[in-house]
Amino acid sequence: MKTTITLQPAYLLHYRAYRDTSALLDLFTPEYGRVSVVAKGIRREKSSLKGVLQPFVPLLISCQGKGDLLTLTHAESRSAVWPLAGEALFSGMYLHEVLIRVLKRMAPETEIFRAYELVLKALTRQYTLEKVLRLFEKYLLHCLGYTLPLYQDSQTGHPIEAEFLYHFDPEKGAVKVNISQKTELPEDVYRGASLLALARGVLIENSILRDAKRLIRRALAPHLGPRPLNSRLLFKSL
Amino acid sequence: MTPTFSPLIDELIERLRCLPGVGPKSAQRMAFHLLSRERDKGKQLSQSLAKSMEDIGYCERCRTFSENPLCQICLQKSRDPAVLCVVETPADVLAVEQGSHFRGYYFVLMGHLSPLDGIGPEDIGLDKLSLRLAQGEIKEMVLATNPTVEGDATAHYIANMAKNHGIRATRIAYGVPIGGELEYIDSNTLAHAFNGRFEL
Ligand SMILES: [Zn+2]
């Protein structure tokens, strides 16, 4: 089956040198999801695409070919690169590692694409990185068909209450538990306040951010495969 | 590639193709050139190649290529031990040497951080760099990694290490095109870049 993609918005997720002067690129597009292309001659000294085909540059690309690996026929930047620096840069790399693991080839992901672009924008501002990442991950799960059931006690149907503790399973939802709030909470038990904050997207306090990270990490794990995320290890050692 | 009249020549042609930019046609031209006109030089080439591949390892101090425990640059006593320039490749060392008045020592990463390719801090010798920073002799670092996303991330990571050791770190920035590689930048641009470096 021949595929022709014409002037599709895209971002570069991963770049790998290929042969003497070419490169294999993993691109993220709204209508085709993850697209793998070979960019011929891009590593030549005089290649004008070298500066364009970089991560975090909003691109327009055209490519064509058969099967999983297409040939890049055109690339230009839509606007200036999102200027990520320092820890925001590492956050961006983390996002790419997550996206490479969850995005399917040639499957439209317009919502995720739009959210990804908003995250890049947010990462260039003075927002809390952790907050931006958690909200993106929550939305990513939703787009993948695994909306976090954060709104009610899944056994009783009662609304979640801030002062109670809940056992939370990413698929089955929250169930109220009666254990002391004073001891350290088990891995899958969260404060109601944290569940409510995550549901509303209001992640301000550090303790809530920590809970949100713990919860989303567990929820995302089955979609990322068994290998640990390298950028997560890197973040930790930063 | 169609075989020639000699399996040995076929093999030579095939081997030459491991060189960058050498396709079957130019490999064939090289093989015939050496055989018909440059036998002696060809022999010297093969000896030099064999010796290099066998003997050249990495400098214990800066990690660049060296057949001795310490490379020629690390052995130079006249350099300033308080300044360390961090680059991605041995070719970058030469680029900085030729294109700037830098007179400190080097540390060669032999790559850059790239989580998606599984390349972490220890793969680029940062454990070793950390030990060197702890010795206290280095007061300033020039981070001359490539102006790419991975190069920037690597520089940021090393700048953090420097901060933890109370060492000043600057990043070359001026005039280096995005996505460029230091090796390919002309000397003038690079000299300029070194003058315009800024604090991280
Ligand atoms: Zn050395």
Digit-coded pLDDT (tens) for A86-132: 889 999 999 999 999 999 888 999 999 999 999 999 999 877 889 99
In this predicted structure, the answer to whether residue A138 has a pLDDT above a threshold of 70 is yes
From B26's Cα to the closest Cα of chain A, the distance in A is 14
Q: Is B16 a residue whose pLDDT tops 70?
A: yes
User: Residue A142: its pLDDT value, please?
Assistant: 94
Q: How far is the CA of B73 from the centre of ligand 1 (A)?
A: 6
Q: What is the ipTM, given to two decimal places? A: 0.83
Q: What is the pLDDT of residues A160-189, one digit of tens each?
A: 999 999 999 998 999 999 887 777 888 899
* Residue span of the structural domain in which A184 resides: 83-238
pLDDT band (50, 70, 90) for residue B166? very high
Whether the CB-CB separation of A29 and A9 falls below 8 Å is answered with yes
pLDDT reported for residue B151 = 92
Mark which of A77, A104, A125 sits at the end of a domain: A77
Q: Are residues A155 and A87 in the same domain?
A: yes
| In a shared domain, residues A111 and A149 | yes
Residue ranges and CATH numbers for the domains of chain B are 7-55 (1.10.8.420), 77-199 (3.40.1360.10)
How high is the pLDDT of residue A190?
94
CATH code for position A220: 1.20.1440.120
Residues A25 and A95 in one domain: no
Q: For A59-80, what is each residue's pLDDT tens digit?
A: 999 999 998 999 999 999 998 8
Which long-range contacts (C-beta less than 8 Å, at least 24 apart) are formed by B88-92? B88/B112, B88/B145, B88/B146, B88/B151, B88/B154, B88/B182, B89/B183, B90/B64, B90/B65, B91/B182, B91/B183, B92/B144, B92/B146, B92/B182, B92/B183
Total count of domains within chain A: 2
Q: Are residues A108 and A71 in the same domain?
A: no
**Structure confidence at residue B185 (pLDDT):** 54
End-to-end CA distance of chain A: 45
CA distance B76 to chain A (A): 33
Interchain proximity B179–A51, CB inside 8 Å: yes
Average pLDDT over residues B127-147: 94
| The residue type at A224 | L
Nearest Cα residue in chain A from B118: A230
With an 8 Å Cβ cutoff, are A93 and B177 in contact?
A: no
pLDDT above 90 as % of chain B: 76
Confidence of residue B19 (pLDDT cuts 50, 70, 90): very high
Size of interface A-B (CB pairs under 8 A): 61
**Where residue A31 sits, what CATH number does that domain have?**
2.40.50.140
A66 and A99 part of one domain: no
Question: Domain boundary at A14, A46, A77, which?
Answer: A77
User: Quick check: B194 pLDDT over 90?
Assistant: no
pLDDT band at A50 (very low <50, low <70, confident <90, very high): confident
